[in-house]
Structure 1
């Protein structure tokens, strides 16, 4: 019973820390934008319902616009190199950032899955869903062995090509199966018979 209680509480803490961090960042950003927009908000008559709604919505709209324009700037190569330097030198040492980056990276960067092919990899007497990354030397492939339920946490290994069987599915479908701890895998997995 105590193990269940301990793991449940720990799981709750791990779940709530990124949410709390995100909430604090958003509330601070909204407070900052509210101060920034104060001269504009002073011009809106608060006596009406529309004015009251506008006073509360305007900072949110401004924040969304800033996020949109920051997203446009982030697509430039100069911004990418600046973010890369900041991440490697400063932000990686801040655990909540590293956790958020790991959890949201795959959602925000769908290009990260380009070139990956879902495969089955044979190990002695078992098979594992994996992603074929690239060809190495003759007869060898580099594969990413994803974890479950987080398919973007795993390990990378080199295997011989004869241990790989391609799966007829997308990276997203294979990832969804891993997130469900393998539920639904029978739809895509056909174990080849030994020759």
Structure 2
């Protein structure tokens, strides 16, 4: 059931800096507004499998299967460390690209999608989070879960786009300052590595 408590809790969850936020902000700074929207779209799409897993009850299976959880978790850790390495090495990343090509747009969506789909903790989070807002006397929880999931995804996309737009507002200052570019590149690389280390923890 869509309540004020659900909306406020979801807003707080979406606003908290995580892998999707870091990726969207870095994309907005590096490639501009349109690219950040594609990143936000990919991050939002990346939570869809986790939401579906929760709705269909597969998250419970993932939660009870240590092997499946660890396999997905290790894949996510490896991908985050890969992003950290690529970001650290790519010294030509901060270039003006106001209109990403179709291929680069697809690449951004794919990268963002992988970022969230390879985080098994999202399934566990949704398994614990969504049922709290389902009507206990409902004949079937499916309509409530689908409605809650739809609202959460819409909120995620909007907030991530805002993050990207805010990052793009500072883009000119970043592009005109090589030292700032260097520090930001290292900062984003460290953020991805830190998120990977955090995901590796129990």
Q: Which TM class, normalised by the smaller chain length? A: under 0.3
Greater radius of gyration (CA): 1
Higher RCO by CA contacts (8 Å cutoff, separation 6 or greater): 2
The structure in which a higher percent of residues are helix is 2
